[in-house]
Structure 1
Amino acid sequence: MSKIPVIAIFDVGKTNKKLFLFDENYKIVFEKSARFIETVDEDGDTCENLESLRLSVFDSLREVFKLPQYDIKAINFSTYGASFVYIGEDGAPVAPLYNYLKDYPEELKRQFYDTYGGEAQFSKRTASPVLGSLNSGMQLYRIKYEKPELYSKIKYALHLPQYLNYLITGEVHTDITSIGCHTNLWDFENNDYHPWVKAEGIFDKLAPIIASDSVVPAAFPGNNYGVGVGLHDSSAALIPYLSNFHEPFILISTGTWCISLNPFNHEPLTDEELQHDCLCYMQYKGKPVKASRLFAGFEHEQQVKRIAAHFDKNTVSYRNMEFDPAIGHQLYAAEERKEADWASNQMKESAFAARNLDAFESDVHAYHQLIFDLVTQQYESTMLVAKGTAVRRIFVDGGFSKNSIYMNLLAMFFSDMEIFAASMAQATAVGTALAIHNHWNTKALPNDIIELKYYSITHNTEL
């Protein structure tokens, strides 16, 4: 019996670390998941356990290479962003993988922005809101000034996906999807590193940029598989949509954060967009993707608990609540479109947190109002990246794509667009495999990996 050709994908999240094997039809034929206990850095702040991660990669590869039914043709990686691994002359890490939520010193932050043009101007050029340690370039800047002895030991700073590539190949690379995502490193106006990177000597510690869809050979002799350079997970999740749809679209990726990604908006960020937490990602072909964000999934979770407690219900009852068109149209008809500052206020928090639950005759009405308030926010957030573009189609994936109230109300607000709930298994991992499709897969790119459900104002039908 001939072996099945597969690609191995490591999908490393903050909590779950997963390994998938995909066949040439992008069906999952093997998967495993692991969680590691975090360690702490020298300040006592929690951070990724790099040694556990390294051992897990090698142990997992040994396991799947022993499986007799599969022929591994390639390996690739996607991980969360804003995280550097600092390696020394011998290739071993010389510092912890600092947590991107680590507090950033205010004095050092002021020194940086005062030196390089001020927060507003700098943020526009780098498409990076001021986010402290989430701007990964600022982590290197901090080490240079706070820990000069450590800084001198750093040979290369590798974003996490490229560190995993390095473990297998022994080669050092930089990938545009990692450096182009709110890092403070990339100058979107000049399509090159921002001048501060060379002025501070940071450039010398960054590996050469390599195309995101390229592969390099593994370091182990006698192998016949290629190794992808790795991708930032948000950029990887967009690849299946870019591969399957060529008319302009927006992807609303919903979870704890609801992120509106517009790969067809190439205009520079405006001051208003930056104030509303917009930023730019870089897709794997090197083009900017304008994005806006809402903390809507988190708010939904908190407010559902409040509704359930008030009406003495179980929170589970809201997971599959059906849309009531009468309530939906009543809410939409009653909504007042207010003056210009309305959008600004709505973007900070939804109206629901301030609502008195005694005003609702039932938990069903209250829950519809909650979703309506969140969709009101979502409309404003998405329009920040939609305006001025030819987008007429919106895909929604993640948790809210399964919420019929959310999807139907979204169709009301975006009445001039086609609204689809999109679902696919492990979009980030699939995108990471698709990025190097031509290097391992003998079949044509698939066109059936995304399931769509269409929503209109009055009804919904499955395609």
Structure 2
Amino acid sequence: MSEIPVIAIFDVGKTNKKLFLFDEQYRIIFERTARFMETVDEDGAPCENLESLRLSVFDSLREVFRKKEWQIKAINFSTYGASLVYIDEEGRPLTPLYNYLKAYPAALSEQFYHQYGGATAFSVQSASPVLGSLNSGMQLYRLKYEQPDIYRQVKYSLHLPQYMSYLLTGVACADITSIGCHTNLWDFQRNNYHKWVTEEGVLGKLAPLFSSNEVMPAAFPGNNYLVGTGLHDSSAALIPYLVNFQEPFVLISTGTWCISLNPFNDTPLTTEELEADCLCYMTFQGKPVKASRLFAGYEHEQQVKRIAAHFNQHTGRYRNIDFDSDMIRRLKARNQQETPIPAAEKKVLQSSEFEQRDLNTFASDIEAYHQLMLDIAHQQYIATKRVLSGDKVKRIFVDGGFSKNAIYMNLLAAFFPEIEIFAASMAQATAMGAALAIHGAWNSKPLPNNLIELKYYSLTHDVSL
């Protein structure tokens, strides 16, 4: 029996760390999941256990290399972004893997933006709102001023996907999907590193920039395989869609955050868009992707708990509620008689109107849940509309948790009657994107055109919004 050619993908989320093996048809033939206890940094703030992650990579590879039925042709990585690993001359990490949610010192932030043109102008250049530690370049700036002794020892600052690649290759590299994603390192107007990176001497702490489809030989023992540079997870998740669809589309990637990504909109971000939590990501080909973020998954989770508690129900009840167009019509008529919060005045849409609603006004928990989804879908409409300019978008794809929510999907179709709305599903889009990025380096077959399963949601004509 001949060995099956496969690619191994490490897909590292904040909670779950996964290893997948894909065959040449991009079918998952092996999956392993691990979770690690968080540790704390020197300030007592929670952070990733970098040593556990490093050992897990090596242990997982030893396991799959022992399997004689597979031939690993390549390995790549997709991980959450905004996290830097500072390594010394020997490649050893010098600090904990600081959490991107860690509070950023106000005085240091003020010093930075004052020196480099002010927060508003800088945000336009870097295509990102001011996000504190979530702007990962600010973590490096902080290290320079708060821990200068450690900063002097830094050979390279690697984003987490590139550190994982470094573990197997010994080659330090930077990748545009990580550098170009709300880091404050990249100037989208100049399409190059921002001037502060040079003026602060930070450029010397950044590894050479590689293309996202480049591969390197492995230094870790095993068979003869190649290693990719690693990708930021949001950019990786977009790759299967870019491979399969050429006509302009928007992808709404739903989870805790619902992110509307338009890879066909290259208009510069405006100050108003930045204030409304718009930003730019970068495709694996190095093209800007205008995006808007919404905290809708988190909002949904919190409000479902409130509904369930009020009506004495289990939260699992709301996973598969059928869409009731009559109920939506009644709720819409009732809402029109109330005084709404003007949508134009809501600059940051991080909480829905529903949290202000009195649950005693609803006849049932199902009615309350329909109102919650109506509020979230309206919020989503405003957020997604912000990135629709540019080439005429003909389709909106929704993946992740809300793609399985019939109420959300039908309401989206009603809010966007001129655009085809599809629920998209595929096995592990982020990991698959990391595999597709280096397709030519390991796969002898042509790119498949059936990676994504689509379900069309037509406009329900008796519900116009």
Question: Same fold judged by TM-score > 0.5?
Answer: yes
Q: Distance in 1 between matches of 2:11 and 2:352?
A: 33
1:16 shift after superposition: 0.8
Partner of 1:248: 248
Root-mean-square deviation (CA), in Å?
A: 1.6
Query: Shift of the alpha carbon at 1:243?
Result: 0.5
Q: Contact 2:267/2:390 (CA < 8 Å) preserved in 1?
A: no
Q: Deviations over 1:325-378 (max 9, x none)?
A: 212234446665999952332824211111111211222211111100000000
Aligned to 1:9: 9
Residue in 2 that maps onto 1:446: 448
Q: Aligned ranges for residues 407-426 of structure 1 at < 5 Å?
A: 407-426=409-428
The aligned amino acid for 1:196 is W
- Aligned residue for 2:421, secondary structure, equals strand
Could you tell me which runs of 5 or more consecutive residues in structure 2 were left unpaired when the two chains were aligned.
Answer: none
Match in the other structure for 1:393: 395
- Does the CA-based 8 Å contact 2:72-2:225 persist in structure 1? yes
What's the counterpart of residue 344 of structure 1? 345
- 1:61-98 Cα offsets, whole Å, 9 max, x none, are 11101101000000000110001100001111111111
CA distance in 2, matches of 1:179, 1:339: 41
Name the aligned partner's letter for residue 209 of structure 1: L
| Matching residue of 1:42 | 42
Task: Quote the Cα distance in structure 1 between the aligned partners of 2:332 and 2:420.
Answer: 18
> How far apart are the structure 1 equivalents of 2:389 and 2:364?
37
The offset of 1:223, in angstroms, is: 3.9
Structure 2 residue identity aligned to 1:26: Y
Q: Tell me the SS of whatever aligns to 2:64.
A: helix
The code of the aligned residue for 1:414 comes to F
- State the 1:221 CA deviation: 6.8
**Structure 1 letter corresponding to 2:126:** T
* Secondary structure of 1:213's aligned partner: coil
**Per the alignment, in what secondary structure is the counterpart of residue 308 of structure 1?**
helix
TM-score, normalization by structure 1: 0.96
Q: Which moved more, 1:384-393 or 1:180-189?
A: 384-393
Please point out which of 349, 359, 366 is paired with 1:364: 366
Structure 2: how far apart are the matches of 1:367 and 1:102?
33
2:412 is paired with a residue whose SS is helix
CA distance in 1, matches of 2:393, 2:28: 32
Shift of 1:306: 1.5
Whether the 8 Å contact between 2:296 and 2:350 is mirrored in structure 1 is no
Partner of 2:202: 202
* Deviating more after overlay: 239-248 vs 222-231: 222-231
Residue aligned with 2:26, SS: coil
The range that moved more, 343-352 or 159-168, is 343-352
For residues 226 and 179 of structure 1, do their structure 2 counterparts lie closer, same or farther at Cα, with a shift above 3 Å needed?
Answer: same
What does residue range 101-250 of structure 1 map to in structure 2 within 5 Å? 101-220=101-220, 223-250=223-250
5+ residue gaps in structure 1? Answer: none
Q: Are residues 380 and 448 of structure 1, via their aligned partners in 2, closer, same or farther at CA, if it must alter by over 3 Å?
A: same
* Corresponding letter in the other structure for 2:224: N
Code of the aligned partner of 1:455: Y
Q: What one-letter code is carried by the residue in structure 1 that aligns with 2:346?
A: N
One-letter amino acid of the structure 2 residue matched with residue 229 of structure 1: T
Q: Residues 266 and 390 of structure 2 are in contact (CA less than 8 Å); yes or no, is this contact kept in structure 1? A: no
Matched residues in 2 for 1:422 and 1:394: separation? 10
Relative to structure 1, the CA distance from residue 339 to residue 307 in structure 2 (aligned partners, 3 Å threshold; closer, same or farther) is: closer
Deviation readout 1:102-156 (Å, 9 max, x if unpaired): 1111001000000000000000000121011111100110111111101001010
TM-score (norm 2): 0.96
Which residue number in structure 2 is paired with residue 326 of structure 1?
326
- Give the whole-Å Cα distance in 2 for the aligned partners of 1:97 and 1:117: 29
CA separation in 2, counterparts of 1:200 and 1:299? 39
Give the Cα separation in 1 of the matches to 2:183 and 2:342: 30
Task: Tell me how far 1:389 sits from its aligned partner.
Answer: 3.5
CA distance in 2, matches of 1:251, 1:335: 29
User: Structure 1 pair 220/293, CA: closer, same or farther in 2 (3 Å)?
Assistant: closer
Q: Does the residue aligned with 1:386 lie in a helix, a strand or coil?
A: coil
3-state SS of the aligned residue for 2:209? coil
Paired with 1:51 and 1:89, the residues of 2 have a C-alpha distance of 18
SS at match of 1:51: helix
Q: What letter matches 1:38 in structure 2?
A: E
CA displacement at 1:458 relative to structure 2: 2.1
Return the offset for 1:392: 1.8
Deviation digits for residues 176-207 of structure 1 (CA, Å, limit 9, x no counterpart): 00000000000000100000000000000100
| Distance (Å, rounded) in 1 between the aligned partners of 2:207 and 2:350 | 38
CA distance in structure 1 between the aligned counterparts of 2:350 and 2:47, rounded to whole angstroms: 29
The one-letter code of the counterpart of 2:392 is A
- Write the letter of the residue equivalent to 2:48: E
Partner of residue 25, structure 1: 25
**Aligned in 2, Cα 1:65/1:373: closer, same or farther, shift over 3 Å?**
same
Alpha-carbon separation, structure 1, partners of 2:315 and 2:429: 27
3-state DSSP of counterpart to 1:319 = helix
User: Which amino acid counterpart does residue 297 of structure 1 have in structure 2?
Assistant: G
Which string of whole-angstrom CA distances, capped at 9 and with x for unpartnered residues, describes residues 196-236 of structure 1? 00000000010000000111111247842110000000000
Whether the 8 Å contact between 2:13 and 2:80 is mirrored in structure 1 is yes
- Cα displacement (A) at 1:45: 1.1
SS across alignment from 1:284: coil
The code of the aligned residue for 2:368 comes to A
Instruction: Work out the CA distance in 2 between the residues paired with 1:311 and 1:221.
Output: 58
Q: 1:46 deviation in Å?
A: 1.3
**Alignment of 1:83 onto 2:90:** no
| Contact 2:74/2:225, CA 8 A, preserved across alignment | yes
Q: Deviations over 1:379-404 (max 9, x none)?
A: 00000111344112100011110010
Q: Which residue of 1 aligns with 2:437?
A: 435
2-side partners of 1:80 and 1:342: how far apart? Answer: 31
In structure 2, C-alpha distance between the alignment counterparts of 1:45 and 1:291, rounded to whole Å:
30
1:41 is matched by which residue type in structure 2? D
**2:294 partner letter:** L
